[in-house]
Structure 1
Amino acid sequence: MSSLPLYFDYAATTPVDERVIRAMVECLGYQACFGNPASNSHAYGRQARRAVERAREQVAALVGASAGQIVWTSGATESNNLALKGVAQALDAPGHLITSRL
């Protein structure tokens, strides 16, 4: 039996898998691709962009999607808005989008 505590609040955060930690270390520090991936004007930005695109391709392969279908967001609110507005805009008939705090 494990001596680790039971933790059920994964809504805001989760433990990080060791493989993820190793991959993230590659993007931290001066010897890594720490640049802003939106900045193409310097090598650090281009290197970071390549790392982001490589990750996008890996996630796409994992879930059976194309890289163009993978969208990174900054958090839950942006993700929810993207999903809900995308569904609403895809509907043929105009209507209302109603949400709750639940």
Structure 2
Amino acid sequence: MNKRPLYFDYAATTPVDERVIQVMVECLGFNANFGNPASSSHAFGQAARQTVEQARGQVAELVGAQPGQIVWTSGATESNNLAIKGVAQARGVAGGHIIT
């Protein structure tokens, strides 16, 4: 039987899959792929952009989408706002008021 305590506060944080940690380590540190993917004028940014696009393709394949349908956001608030605005626009509420 597992003697580790149970953790139920996954809204605050969650353990990261070991495979994800391994890939993240490849992007950390000076000798890694740490560039700004939005800066394509240098090799660091180009390498980072390639990594981001590879991840986008992997996520798209995982969820049965096209890579262009995958949008990265900076966090939950931005994600929620994007989803709410998307639903409102799809229902013709664009330009109106949304109260959440």
CA-based RMSD: 1.3
- Structure 1, unmatched stretches of 5+, are none
1:2-41 alignment, distance < 5 Å: 2-41=2-41
Distance in 1 separating the partners of 2:62 and 2:93: 34
1:35-50 alignment, distance < 5 Å: 35-50=35-50
Q: Does 1:75 align with 2:69?
A: no
Distance in 2 separating the partners of 1:20 and 1:11: 19
Following superposition, the deviation at residue 29 of structure 1 comes to: 1.1
- Mark the CA change 1:96 to 1:52 in structure 2 (over 3 Å): closer, same or farther: same
Deviations 1:56-86 (A, max 9, x none): 0000001111101111000010000000001
Give the counterpart letter for 2:26 in structure 1.
E
Report runs of 4+ in structure 1 exceeding 2 Å deviation: 92-98
Name which of structure 1's ranges 28-37 and 52-61 shifts more when overlaid on structure 2: 28-37
Distance in 1 separating the partners of 2:88 and 2:34: 37
Identity of aligned residues (%): 75
Give the counterpart letter for 2:77 in structure 1.
T
Q: Does 1:97 align with 2:98?
A: yes
Following superposition, the deviation at residue 96 of structure 1 comes to: 4.0
- Mark the CA change 1:92 to 1:51 in structure 2 (over 3 Å): closer, same or farther: same
TM-score by length of 1: 0.90
Distance in 2 separating the partners of 1:4 and 1:66: 40
